[in-house]
Amino acid sequence: MILDRFRLDGKVAVVTGAGRGIGAAIAVALAEAGADVVLAARTRSQLLSVAEEVRRRGRRAHVVESDLSDPAAGAALAGIAVAEFDRLDVVVNNVGGGRPGPLGRSSTDVLERAFRFNVSTADALTRAGAEVMLRGDGGAIVNISSAIGRVAGRGFLAYGTAKAALTHYTRLSAADLAPRIRVNAVAPGTVFTSALRKLVGEEAMRERVEASTPLRRIGDPQDVAAAVLYLATDASAYLTGKVIEVDGGLHAPNIDLGLPDL
CATH numbers and ranges of domains, the chain: 8-244 (3.40.50.720)
Residues of the chain with pLDDT under 50: none
* Model pTM score: 0.92
- pLDDT reported for residue 143: 98
CA–CA gap between residue 30 and residue 217 (Å, rounded): 25
Q: Is 230 a catalytic residue?
A: no
pLDDT, position 197: 62
For residue 139, what pLDDT is reported? 98
| CB hemisphere CA count around 93 (13 angstroms) | 37
Please, what is the Cα angle at 179 between 173 and 180, to 5 degrees?
90
Q: How many residues make up the chain in this entry? A: 262
- The pLDDT score that the predictor gives to residue 195 is 63
Phi, psi of 156 (to 5 degrees): -120, 30
Burial 213-251 (b: 16+ CB within 10 A, else e): beeeebbebebbbbbbbbbbbebbeeebbebbbbbbebe
159, 169, 230, 238: which one is catalytic?
159
Residue 88 contacts residue 78 (beta carbons within 8 Å)? yes
Pairing state between β 243-246 and 181-188: parallel
Strand, coil or helix: what is 257? coil
